[in-house]
Amino acid sequence: MIDRILVRYGDLVLKGHNKKRFIKTARLRVKEKLDNPNIEIKAHHDRLYVLLNGEQAQPIIKRLKMVPGLLSFSPMVKTDKTMETIQEEALTMMQNIKGPSTFKVETKRADKRFPISSQIISKTVGGYVLKNTTHLTADMHEPNTVLHVEIRQDHAFLYHEVIEGMKGFPLGTMGQGLCLLSGGIDSPVAAYLAMKKGIEVELMHFESTPLTSIESAQKAIDLAKQLAQFGINNTIKLHMVPFERVHTSLLNKMPEPYMITMMRRMMVKIAEAKAHQTHIPVLINGESIGQVASQTLESMKVTDHAVSLPMIRPLAIMEKNDIMRIARMIGTYEISIQPFEDCCTVYVPKQVATSPRVFYALRYEKLIDMDELINKTVANIKTLSIHQDDVIKLTDHGLTVEDALKVVRTLD
């Protein structure tokens, strides 16, 4: 029976003087994610042990996979400290491996009083497994499976399975970031990758109801819920930006080829203003070089010129297939492909400036009352703290986000 789960840390083991802080944060995030009073969490050097105390291992492993900063996990079986029981448990474990396959045994003897050396234990256990199986052969150099035997003070522990974790850094150890969330495939993946690297992410969605449908805003809610499973206490903040007034002003005043460029500049300016209010030092978006006509290096340069905060683009050099694979893995893909247009996809101009210039962007911004639009928009942003289990249905309560949130917040 699986008694505990061995948890290995990811990149945080490289953090030098900050290592203790990172490990402490990783333990806290594991405790928050598991949220089970029956489970004990014990730290030992560069490892963490999750003592199950009778709880099933698979649901625990599923949750651990959602914790940034964890490299891998191994379910461990506890047995008596006799060679007979160790050999029998080893045989039971290795019989479950599909063959033909290769293996070796490695022993760690923490209890030096145990009368048999690590080398003899490995040799004896390996020989017993070989003698009683037909699908396994020994390979001391590049085996498919390594069976680990650990001899502790009171018991022996065996494991061979290594389950991959999220890796990266514990959430929050790398500060905060504000991620612009559209309804598409890319931006949720960008948010996930930032969280994986230890950035505590807040989301910002620009909604233009009733120019766009309420369903497009609902997609943002649903995407946030899916991303919340990786957040602290399974929650994430979503800032809903009332963009319809800005959107309409741009549609009426901007030259068509610069429509997307000017819209992005307004979005990042609004995002920066909100970030300054909440002391968030970086912005994040889902742009990928060359993926669409407007996502060129020149366009990115003009967008970045609009703000002073750095813009992180986790997907910048990724292939679309790789982005889609991650989207499927984290559960956002099916939400993202729902056919509801947001403010970035509705009224797409026939001709897009692929090599915009800052000079023209600055000139066109003078066609609108930019500061007044930004200030009023930021003042009316609605912020939701979304839990992965929340039930929020904007579509049941009106045609605009403003009307729907009045009802939803009352219901809460």
DSSP string, 331-358: T-HHHHTSS---TTTTT--SS--SS--H
What per-residue confidence (pLDDT) applies to 376? 97
Domain 1-79 fold is VC0802-like (3.30.2130)
What per-residue confidence (pLDDT) applies to 409? 67
- H/E segment holding residue 125: helix 118-131
Q: In this structure, are residues 412 and 406 in contact, taking their beta carbons and an 8 Å threshold? A: no
What per-residue confidence (pLDDT) applies to 412? 46
Written as six digits, the tokens of 80 are 């008596």
C-alpha span between 165 and 65 (Å, rounded) = 5
What per-residue confidence (pLDDT) applies to 303? 96
Q: Which CATH class is domain 176-411?
A: alpha beta
Q: How many CA atoms lie within 13 A of 403 on its CB side?
A: 10
C-alpha span between 405 and 403 (Å, rounded) = 6
Q: Domain extents for the chain?
A: 1-79, 81-154, 176-411
Q: Do domains 81-154 and 176-411 have the same CATH topology?
A: no
Coil/strand/helix, residue 42? strand
What per-residue confidence (pLDDT) applies to 15? 61
pLDDT lower than 70: segments of the chain: 11-16, 343-347, 409-412
Domain 81-154 fold is VC0802-like (3.30.2130)
To the nearest 10°, the Cα dihedral for 390, 322, 164, 58?
40
